[in-house]
Structure 1
């Protein structure tokens, strides 16, 4: 931005300066509104993430506990042979969703196959529950990873927007306002000097 010494104190410069000040104030308001909306989105995402994280941890704990019970109820080599070749195929599709001007990732997990492809007569019911719990936990974990990435992106955008708001609010707008006051004051003084000069000229003409 040009310094006060570089700006000529005339009405054209004053109009240009006031236009810049108007744009800066409008930009500040838009960025402030954007920052507020981003913070709201961040708080909502954080709340969802905490709930989802708890559900994921609970699902894993429950699944592992059921696996431990199932393992105690059947020979370990039998459980290992069942788990060694799981008849499942997992694929994750990446897409994006919009949060204001941000694109955040969205993961869609697809599990194909029959996770219960074993002999029910020789396995305890806890094994069925354990596999179902772990399948649900994996799906939740995939959703959780996308949610955490979204939080990082939104938090980064909040910080970037906050810096821009601060630059406008505490640096650019105050500087422009000070220059505007300086130009107005110098124009006022110049106008007063001009009026005084005209009065002296009139007085001289009247005397002659």
Structure 2
């Protein structure tokens, strides 16, 4: 009896991407702090008389700088003619493009108080390192400080990071005004697409802005 060569029967497997979201995924960005969180951290640092951390925290919020640029700020970048500048400008390490930022009155006062500390005598950098071979604090040390700040007010440290400092003020500016161009300039982004991704702007945001405008 001849046996026909029949094709093997294979079990049907589900597609590898069944039920999955494929394509580019949004990056996981640390959350911006809420205004109540900002004030809670400030109060704790003031009570502790931690002048360096208070000045660093305030300037991180105001400047919206990346951690790598914030830790390398020099006294001359923000101080001239015996006073703290109301506006300052630096060249960003990542893009090599200038970015300007404001320094509010409360931040100026905290920086002046920090500059009276013995550690600041003769220092070129605004946040000097505690070791001779380190001219300024490192980005890793800055990240540890941010972690300490958010833990001190009962927040989950895994939800916040140094980029939270950078995002906090612009997130609230965007929510209040819907002005993406202003946010782009404040962050020093070269492309609007970067700003849109950075803020996580969605269709719901666009619709909310549109609904608030009547013509």
Under TM normalisation by the shorter chain, which class is it?
under 0.3
* More helix as a share of residues: 1
Quick one: higher RCO (CA 8 Å, sep 6+), 1 or 2?
Answer: 1
Query: What is the TM-score when the length of structure 2 is the normalising length?
Result: 0.20
Task: Please say which structure displays the higher CA radius of gyration.
Answer: 1
